[in-house]
Amino acid sequence: MSADRVPGETSSVDGDLPDVRAAQANRAAFAILYRRYLDPVYGYCFYLLGDHHDAEDATERTFLAALGAIERFRDEGATFRSWLFRIAHNQLANALRTRDRQRTDPLDGAQELTAASDDPARLVSLADDARRLRAALASLSEDRRQVVVLRFVDGLTAREIGVVLGRSDGAVRVLQHRALRELAVLLER
């Protein structure tokens, strides 16, 4: 496995181009791409905005912008997935810039701990671990938090994250390394 891949990650390069071409020829075909990326884009928005309604709004704006610009997508090194997440990144930047209320914890409600057969002590331990992880992620700088979310939640490659954030592959890898190091220190406390 490549060092640039998350276990279980699938490459969007091979599967997306025929669907992108179809959507460029017939906008109704965009529905296939919408269904494929709705959950990952919503997850990205939710992790960074921390509010379901705000995340839904940002997701909607992302797909409307992508649909409106699908004809301009070109296969020139960037994958459709990274192009779409770049649009989402821009929508998130706008939402965060104009937000006038205090930001909520980005992972609240992200993990349901409702397993009837689990040991209650284990559930308490899992809840504590989730709380500590939320707090550690919240304390990361915005660019480091975005790299962690895009990489380990959405499964984007360093190259795709670079397209989303407007940085080089190397800069993304450095950000990822520093974020993981910082998370390790924060979680050791």
Domain chopping of the chain, boundaries: 12-99, 119-189
CATH code that applies to domain 12-99: 1.10.1740.10
Task: Kindly state the tokens that stand for 56.
Answer: 């839904």
Question: Would you say 179 and 145 are in contact if contact means Cβ atoms under 8 Å apart?
Answer: yes
Q: How far apart are CA 124 and CA 115, in angstroms?
A: 12
pLDDT computed for residue 71 by the predictor: 93
pLDDT surpasses 80 at 17: yes
pLDDT surpasses 90 at 117: no
Residue 154: partners with Cβ closer than 8 Å, 6 or more residues away: 40, 43, 44, 85
Mean pLDDT throughout 3-25?
65
Task: Tell me, yes or no, if the two domains 12-99 and 119-189 fold the same way.
Answer: no
Residue 133: partners with Cβ closer than 8 Å, 6 or more residues away: 107, 187
* pTM of model > 0.75: no
Q: Select from 3.50.50.60, 1.10.10.10, 3.40.50.1370, 3.40.50.970 the CATH code of 119-189.
A: 1.10.10.10
Q: What is the mean pLDDT of the chain?
A: 81
pLDDT computed for residue 118 by the predictor: 59
Reported as a single tens digit per residue, the pLDDT across 132-159 is 887 888 889 989 998 998 898 888 899 9
